[in-house]
């Protein structure tokens, strides 16, 4: 069962490293982006280890139950509403981002709100399932998608247009200290461990989480690839001319002897599944946080009465996602995403240390 934890962390790294991180870090490529990737995964790995160790002291409990036992209701309800909203916003940004990609590259004549409505309906249906169903869906889709994604990355590294001199030129800027923007973006990419705040309920029988040391390694390797491969293919300066950096990078890769000539089609199909998974898990976590605000709180078991609070929260945030996505432009989306990550990182740090304090308090009793 501990493999599911690695699935969630890897999912968070993949979705952020391809959709958001390249564009934002490339804007900061001369101002500490390279060092931020190293510092970001170290900080994220330390927070992950502290959070998971603390949560595992509350066997079979999610964060809503833990907070309700230790804190007064007047504090618990606003905190759960905040954490639920934060989780919903994370998934919404991914849906809006991928809707822009689909609207631009696959169905340019379709209004963005139509694409968003379809995405929201599918993500909401998945989010309303039980936590165990979400786990099984994540494993199934991620295992199917990862081989194709690894194949796309392999084709990128072996592409004849890959210019390693451009990458070596960027190494000269690796000694520049990162800005808060680039550091928060790199740290945000490895925040998938926050999902354990809900899925800890189904990890009750696990003696300990194995292979946590692999999370910073996976995070750095994916961030490294997401940052340097577009620079190697599109050029140090030319990479700045593209909004959806990795889609343009995949579009520049060809498979001469394959029945699908352009890698971009494989890439878009893979990230359709990964975007759905990320939105489903974050909206499931968000709806469970909001469900915890009610006095007759029970974890989601997929029964009608159990699903109703999740459905209401998904409907509210789904409508908001469609409205905001239809209002934002492509440039606005990346500006909002970068500011969101700068705000989200301190919130995650507060959550981690709060859970650590609660675990120490429980141990002292």
**Mean pLDDT in runs of 10 for the chain (365 residues)?**
79 80 82 86 90 86 86 86 91 90 83 90 90 87 87 84 85 84 84 87 73 83 87 84 81 71 80 89 91 68 62 90 85 82 87 88 60
pTM: 0.91
Q: What angle do CA 6, 11, 15 make, to 5 degrees?
A: 155
> In terms of C-beta density within 10 A (0-12 exposed, 13-18 middle, 19 or more buried), how is residue 164 classed?
exposed
Separation between Cα atoms, residue 220 and residue 240, nearest integer Å: 22
Apex 246 CA angle, 239 and 259, nearest 5 = 120
Query: Partners of 254 in the beta sheet?
Result: 262
Q: What are the start-end ranges of the H helices in the chain? A: 2-19, 21-27, 33-55, 63-70, 73-105, 112-127, 131-157, 164-171, 180-188, 196-199, 214-234, 245-251, 263-291, 304-327, 330-364
SS3 121: helix
Residues 6+ positions from 80 with CB-CB distance below 8 Å: 64, 67, 289, 290, 292, 293
pLDDT at 310: 83
Write the DSSP symbol of residue 177.
P
Do 13 and 190 meet the contact criterion of CB atoms below 8 Å apart? yes
**The residue to which tokens 């199917």 are assigned:** 144
Specify burial of residue 178 (Cβ count, 10 A radius: 0-12, 13-18, 19+).
Answer: buried
């Amino acid at each position: 069962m501990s493999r599911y934890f690695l699935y969630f962390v890897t999912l968070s790294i993949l979705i952020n490293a391809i959709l958001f991180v390249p564009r934002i870090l490339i804007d900061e490529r001369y101002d500490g982006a390279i060092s931020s990737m190293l510092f970001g995964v170290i900080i994220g790995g330390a927070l992950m280890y502290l959070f998971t160790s603390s949560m595992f002291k509350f066997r079979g409990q999610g964060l809503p139950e833990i907070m309700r036992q230790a804190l007064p209701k007047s504090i618990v309800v606003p905190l759960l509403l905040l954490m639920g909203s934060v989780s919903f916003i994370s998934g919404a940004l991914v849906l809006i981002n991928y809707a822009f990609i689909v609207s631009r590259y696959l169905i340019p004549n379709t209004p963005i709100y139509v694409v968003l409505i379809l995405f929201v309906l599918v993500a909401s249906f998945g989010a309303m399932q039980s936590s165990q169903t979400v786990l099984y869906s994540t494993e199934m889709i991620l295992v199917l998608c990862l081989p194709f994604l690894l194949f796309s990355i392999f084709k990128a590294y072996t592409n004849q247009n890959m210019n390693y001199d451009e990458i070596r030129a960027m190494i000269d800027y690796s000694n520049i200290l990162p800005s808060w923007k680039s550091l928060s973006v790199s740290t945000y990419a490895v925040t998938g461990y926050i999902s354990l705040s809900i899925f800890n309920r189904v990890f009750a029988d696990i003696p300990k989480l194995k292979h946590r040391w692999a999370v910073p390694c996976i995070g750095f390797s994916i961030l490294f690839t997401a940052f340097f491969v577009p620079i190697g293919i599109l050029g140090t300066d030319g990479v700045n001319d593209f909004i959806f950096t990795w889609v343009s990078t995949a579009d520049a890769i060809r498979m001469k002897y394959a029945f699908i000539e352009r890698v971009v089609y494989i890439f878009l199909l893979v990230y359709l599944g990964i975007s759905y998974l990320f939105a489903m898990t974050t909206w499931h976590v968000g709806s469970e946080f909001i469900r915890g605000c009610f006095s007759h709180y029970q974890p989601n078991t997929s029964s009608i009465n159990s699903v109703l609070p999740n459905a209401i929260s998904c409907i509210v945030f789904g409508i908001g996602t469609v409205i905001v996505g239809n209002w934002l432009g492509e440039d606005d989306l990346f500006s909002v995403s970068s500011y969101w990550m700068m705000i989200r990182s301190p919130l995650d740090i507060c959550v981690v240390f709060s859970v650590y304090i609660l675990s120490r308090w429980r141990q002292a009793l």
